[in-house]
Structure 1
Amino acid sequence: MNNLRRIDLNLLVTLHALLVEKHVSRAAQRLHKSQPAVSHALANLRAIFDDPLLVRRAGKLELTSRANELLPKLTEALHQLGALIEQPAFDSAHEKRVFRLALSDYGARVVLPGLVRRLRSEAPGIDLQVSQGSRVAMLAGVHDGEIDMAFGVFQPPLSDELRTHKLFIEHFVCAADKNTLPKTGDLDKTQWLSRPHVLVAMQSSEGNEIENALHREGVSRRVAMTLPHWGVASHVVPNTDLILTAARRSFDLFLKDSPLQLFTPPYPIDPFEFSMVWHSRRESDAGHNWLKQAIIEMLQEDGAKEPDESGIAVPALTIPPTSTQ
């Protein structure tokens, strides 16, 4: 009871921000306070709990055992207190905040153009810090609080603390120079296998959806070029006999003046789910929830407008209700 007299709600809110962010500057930014003020609060909290709470290991702050015990209890306590006090609605037009997103260049191509347009229109004070990494690195960043949201293809099961939402199902198409294709505008299995291919992969070709499909058929293709990025892939195909098989949304939406022709792969390739992942600690964050919903709505709108002049229609995006993993 004596300790209760030494602590107020503001200190508890500061403690929660510090334990979630594991970073004094980011906690200060989140709380709209100065870094010295948050550092002073941390010193008081360490004295109250008789524990360092955050310790530096390998160049970054980590939670102590005591802090790990406190975090879920503190989150629940603040959530219950919040239910008693009417919280002001998130004001996107005036809010000033930074969100950290992790995406591949494919994810950036799909998510960022529409999202940035929406932010500049509805939330001009919201800034984005975008990073790229492997799937494992992105999930680790979300888990450690270094990343607010990650986007990509994530195989279950995920950590119990992570939440996921399927944004859409993506399909594969092939692209080749129009002048190298027969009048039908596509290739049969024999023609397709006889041509050299471009592969987009961060590491090896093993285990990706295309190679898995070919393995099921007992065939293999010649990969003449492997690239780590989607962005340049479609630009190396024109004026060559190369074939690029990639996610439909990695290509320009309007292909009227493109030298490329898109066509359906002659071998059936499994589609993949493109998802958004965040940590459960963000569930009570009104700004975080606003951004998630803005992304879902933006993808719904963009999906409904995607053209099919290329002859390869993109299925309308169906956004399911939020699910947890």
Structure 2
Amino acid sequence: MDELRRIDLNLLLALHALLTEKHVTRAALRLHKSQPAVSHSLAQLREHFNDPLLVRKQGKLELTTRGNALLQPLSEALTNLNTLLGTPQFDPLHAQRRFRLSLSDYAARLVMPDLMRYARQHAPGFDFAISQASRDAMLVQLADGELDLALGIFPELPQDIRVETLFEEDFICLADKATIREKGSLSLEEWLARPHVMLALKPDANDEIERALAAKGLKRRIAVTLPHWSAAVELLPGTDLVLTIARRAVGPVRSFRDLRQFAPPRQLQLPKMAYQQAWHARKDRDPALAWLRQVLMNGCNPL
């Protein structure tokens, strides 16, 4: 306990905000303090830890080795302390909390409308900050304490990341009606011969479709790569492009009168996907996050 006597515990809250945000102004906004006050706290913390903690590189603040080593145990300690000091009975109707979630526009369309309607009625003090990132980036942000919850497909998980499956999803194909046989589909050869739209946050991503093709020694031509699920469908009318996409991402195909939906070639054997919510083990005892996970689970009924 001697080390605790040597530091103002409020400085630990400032340290967590600085290490998480990597930005003095954003940390000040998060703490509801002035920027000079947070800069002063950073100076005190640097003196206490005998380390700069954050250093400027190419115009941005980055964590030092010491700062990076402090982030996870500090997040765990503050979460445990908050649970200890909090009220024993969690009441979402009167609780206040800001959740940081990462999910694609596909997931946002699926879960956010129902979540907002439910939360505004049953937890009006809860706020939600939504970001979008790649699968790998989401896992890093969960580990670093920058996210409370991430939604996506996580075939490989690092230690201390927990997941729950919200629903299973499968693939469908979409193309302009004029380029597809009446009530038909495409053979594997025809499918491979067509130019494709690929949904990915960065080019050359290795998604479930690419892995299925690689396993059979096949390759398709990617004519367009983009990260926007909703915009991808709009590219198809009047072209020979094919989009292979998660079924729930499309909604009613009758909304797209120029398009035809069909199954991917059977030879591809595209697997069903387990769409999951992921969080870090340090938040297992967070009652507000447990409430949110259950609300999402209840809202994701199978089609």
Normalising by structure 2, report the TM-score: 0.74
1:56 aligns with 54
Q: What is the aligned partner in structure 2 of residue 284 from structure 1? A: 285
Q: Unpaired runs of 5+ in structure 1? A: 307-325
Q: CA deviation at 1:265?
A: 0.4
Shift of 1:121: 2.7
8 A Cα contact 1:75 1:281, kept in partner: no
Give the direction of change, closer, same or farther, for the CA distance of 1:93–1:240 in structure 2 (3 Å limit): same
Per-residue CA distance 1:128-170 (angstroms, 9 max, x = gap): 1111122222222222222211222224241x33322232332
In 2, Cα distance between the equivalents of 1:55 and 1:67? 9
Q: Which residue of 2 aligns with 1:181?
A: 180
Identify the residue that residue 198 of structure 2 maps to in structure 1: 199
Is 2:209–2:270's contact at 8 Å kept on the other side of the alignment?
A: yes
Tell me the residue number matched to 2:253.
Answer: 255
Number of corresponding residues: 288
Uncovered stretches (5+) of structure 2, i.e. residues with no partner: none
Aligned partner of 2:272 in structure 1 is 271
Please give the residue correspondences for 1:27-42 in structure 2 after superposition, counting only pairs within 5 Å.
Answer: 35=33
**What amino acid maps onto 2:219 in structure 1?**
S
Q: Secondary structure of 2:300's partner? A: helix
Which residue matches 1:233? 232
Asked whether the 8 Å contact 2:114–2:299 carries over to 1, the reply is yes
- The residue that corresponds to 2:94 in the other structure is 94
Name the structure 2 match of 1:128: 128
Amino acid at match of 2:177: K
Deviates more, 1:101-110 or 1:237-246: 101-110
Matched, 1:152 2:152: yes
Alpha-carbon offset, residue 299 of structure 1:
1.3
Distance 1:52 1:144 in 2: 22
Tell me the SS of whatever aligns to 1:92.
coil
- The equivalent residue for 2:105 is 105
Contact 2:175 2:242 in 1 (8 A): yes
Q: Percent identity?
A: 38
User: 1:53·1:67 contact (CA, 8 Å) conserved in 2?
Assistant: no
Partner of 1:93: helix, strand, or coil? coil
Q: Which amino acid aligns with 1:56?
A: L
Once the two structures are superposed, the pairs formed by residues 64-75 of structure 1 within 5 Å of their partners are 71=74, 74=77
Does the aligned pair in 2 maintain the 1:197–1:244 contact within 8 Å? yes
CA RMSD, Structure 1 to Structure 2 (Å): 4.0
TM-superposed CA distance for 1:235, in Å, is 0.9
Report deviation, 1:95. 2.5
Aligned position for 2:140: 140
1:177 partner amino acid: D
Aligned to 1:246: 245
Q: Which amino acid aligns with 2:103?
A: L
Q: Output the CA distance in 2 between the equivalents of 1:182 and 1:145.
A: 51
Q: Is the 8 A contact 1:20 1:281 kept in 2?
A: no
**2:299: which partner in 1?**
298
